[in-house]
Amino acid sequence: MFTDITQGLLWALVLIITFISFDKNTYKALYTTPARQTGVLACALVFAVLWQIKAGILTGLDLHILGVTAATLILGWRLTILCSLLASGLLFSFGQIDLELLPLQLLIGAFIPTVLSYLSFILSYQYLPRHFFVYIFVCAFITAGFIACIKISLGALFYLAIGQYNWQELADNYVYLSAIIWFPEAMLNGMAITIMITYRPHWVKTFYDKDYLGQ
């Protein structure tokens, strides 16, 4: 499906982002904290379940819930990258993802959405009121829906660029589906974060009590 050059570039980007996400202190804390290890493994399993429940018409352009926005808010972007690698490895081992599609799925289905989700949190934290409902609706709900649309757009643009599909095929069978998937994505992530910060706020890495509950 992809040329050797395209495949090599995709894998190179995956390796670069994985390397950048590595932080000695983060992984040292992960190694010494059993509760955090449990959280990472649980998140990876949730990813694997969500990602294998998919639908699609065009090969390589599947539609499924991502869940990365909530995970990024809970674990931080570095550990979310790790979770996506573990989940993808698990799905690959069970034959749910082809090796040829694996780097593309990691990039547009996990890495880029994770980074954008964290960037949205940073911008919200810096420029918007630090309020409980702002955190839920902007950082989780709105961001997750937006990320779902970006993932679909990136996938469509990639396949258009390599000439795999023409625009009419992509628009009719994939791009227009963003109007359907954004709301479930937003709802799932918003509900997950609402439950977590209500009952286990200390588990959410990006939720600061003094800022969001002190307003």
**Residue 154: pLDDT above 60?**
yes
**Residue 140: pLDDT above 90?**
yes
Please give the backbone phi and psi of residue 63, each rounded to the nearest 5 degrees, phi first.
-115, 125
* pLDDT value at residue 215: 53
Task: Report helix angle 143-161 to 112-127, nearest 10.
Answer: 140
* pLDDT value at residue 38: 93
**Residue 187: pLDDT above 60?**
yes
Mean pLDDT of 57-71: 88
Alpha carbons within 13 angstroms on the beta-carbon side of residue 114 total 25
Which carries the bigger pLDDT value, residue 71 or residue 7?
Answer: 71
Percent of the chain whose pLDDT exceeds 90: 67
**Residue 164: pLDDT above 90?**
no
* pLDDT value at residue 214: 63
For the chain, domains (ranges, CATH) are 4-212 (1.10.1760.20)
Please report which confidence band the pLDDT of residue 35 belongs to, taking 50, 70 and 90 as the band edges: confident
* Residue 45 identity: L
- Judged on CB neighbours under 10 Å (0-12, 13-18, 19+), 186 is buried
Please report which confidence band the pLDDT of residue 72 belongs to, taking 50, 70 and 90 as the band edges: very high
Alpha carbons within 13 angstroms on the beta-carbon side of residue 141 total 13
* pLDDT value at residue 58: 76
Each residue's pLDDT tens digit, 79-135: 999 999 999 999 999 988 889 889 999 999 999 999 999 999 999 999 999 888 899
